[in-house]
Amino acid sequence: MGEDLIPLHELTIGSFGRVKKITAQGRARRRMLDLGLINGTIVEPLLISPAGDPIAYQIRGAIIALRLEEASKILVETVC
């Protein structure tokens, strides 16, 4: 298990990441926590929009679209 953290939006399609840290503050942080993005949550990027923003992720059985600005504030470690 590596401790190299990357922003969520850098995960490639077909890979998995485990949430380790959220750097967002205030309402944005609360929204992410409400979506289930808590420490240890496994996230899988599924689809990237044609323009590259937003990206659809599978999070705890739901598909959620996050903009790059939001996804950049979620730090994950890659999971094999």
Quote the DSSP letter at residue 37.
Answer: -
For domain 6-79, the CATH superfamily is: Ferrous iron transport protein A (FeoA) (2.30.30.90)
pLDDT at 80: 77
- pTM score, whole prediction: 0.88
pLDDT at 3: 66
Residue 47 pairs in a beta bridge with 56
Decide: 18 and 76 in contact? Cβ < 8 Å.
yes
Going from N- to C-terminal start, the domains of the chain cover 6-79
The span from the CA of 13 to the CA of 75, in Å, is 16
Residues of the chain with pLDDT under 50: 1-2
